[in-house]
Amino acid sequence: MRKTQDSFFDRVYYRPAMKWADTQGFSLPLSALVIYDSFIHSGSIIWVIRNMFPESPPSAGGNEKAWTKAYVNARHKWLGSHHRPPVRNTVYRTQCFKNEIQRGNWDLSQLPINANGIKVTS
């Protein structure tokens, strides 16, 4: 079952997310994680969220860290104000990313990472 699940997530979420990230010029591990989480949770980078901030992706001359931070903040706001309570309850996802951005953990080397109370280590 684990092999099937890994294969499914790789095909349906991970590869499309990393293709999108590569096309848009993203290279930092934290940016990749933010993008992958958006694909897992929402199926893509939702344009209603994307349109909430002006930063351009690196492929259009933008700063990767500025785009990622703005996207996480916009997604956090969108999730937290969603009309469906179960969606609002998922702000822990973006809070984790906000914490890592604040720590400057762009390469995800500062461990542990607190993911909703779970300490992620090597």
44-87 pLDDT, tens digit per residue, is: 999 999 999 999 999 999 999 999 999 999 999 999 999 999 99
> pLDDT (tens digit, 9 = 90+) per residue, 87-114?
999 999 999 999 999 999 999 999 999 9
Q: Which domain holds residue 52?
A: 2-120
Mean pLDDT of the chain: 97
**Whats the size of the chain, residue-wise?**
122
Q: In whole angstroms, give the CA distance from residue 109 to residue 67.
A: 21
Q: Provide the 8-state DSSP code for 13.
A: I
Indicate which CATH number applies to the domain containing 76.
1.20.141.10
Count of domains in the chain? 1
**Residues forming a β-bridge with 115:** 118
Cβ–Cβ under 8 Å, residues 99 and 117: no
The pTM of the full predicted model, rounded to 2 decimals, is 0.95
pLDDT > 90? residue 122: no
